[in-house]
Amino acid sequence: MVDETLLAGLVVLSTVGGALTFFGYSLAPRLLGIAGAVSGGIAGAGGAFGVVPLVSAGVPIETRIAVSAGGLLVGAILGYRLLPVVGRLAAGAAGFVASAAAVVVVLLGEQLSAVAVRVLDPAILRDPAAFGEILLDAPVFESTPLPETTAIALGVGLVGALLALRFYYSLIALTATGTGAVLLGGVIPLWQEFIQTGSIATTAETVSPTWVGIAFVAGVVVQYFRYSDVISIGNNSSAG
């Protein structure tokens, strides 16, 4: 006999996992808004509750709670509005850094590895002068055309930033799809066990990489065919 609460939880996880896996693209703007509202509300309420005593000592707890409620509301509204914008900028910055770093690793990886091996010597780390000398004398700064490498890294980084900004919601959708696939990869084996034995071993290792992969690929394929017309015309901000 399976506990009804456990079974209900399994149904909820399955529903959430399925929604994220197969509707991640259309849910992306809403997920960002919800995340912004929650984080902004928590920050607003916590900040207001902590700031009130600093402004005026001896404030009754009822007043602090009321002010915190106001902070919760204001923070939730601001977070709902601002997080998508801040998130887009953060994605652009991350795209720039990741792309530029990849170029540096490809072009200078061997030289940088040699420098890292030397400077990570415990004796060198304890001697700032020796540490600086090794860095300044490193071949990577002498024989490598750094201006050209820097220019290439900046150019590729800019392209990476633009792509991250352009496909921002698609990246969020892929993240949501991956999260949903992991949830499904965890609940599907439990459903299989329940169907076969009528019970669920909650202590067992249940996340199946195979099911995670199948769910993720299925989610990407389904969403691609569902939203390909939206993505292809450049409207990469929302979907119905």
Read off the pLDDT of residues 100-117 as tens digits, 9 standing for 90 and up.
888 877 776 666 666 665
Read off the pLDDT of residues 194-228 as tens digits, 9 standing for 90 and up.
888 777 765 555 678 889 999 999 999 998 888 77
pTM, 2 dp? 0.58
**What residue spans define the domains of the chain?**
4-232
SS3 string, the chain, reads CCCHHHHHHHHHHHHHHHHHHHHHHHHHHHHHHHHHHHHHHHHHHHHHHHHHHHHCCCCCHHHHHHHHHHHHHHHHHHHHHHHHHHHHHHHHHHHHHHHHHHHHHHHHHHHHHHHHHHHCCHHHHCCHHHHHHHHHCCHHHCCCCHHHHHHHHHHHHHHHHHHHHHCHHHHHHHHHHHHHHHHHHHHHHHHHHHHHHCCCCCCCCCCCHHHHHHHHHHHHHHHHHHHHHHHHCCCCCCCC
Read off the pLDDT of residues 44-89 as tens digits, 9 standing for 90 and up.
888 888 877 777 767 777 777 888 888 889 888 888 888 777 777 8
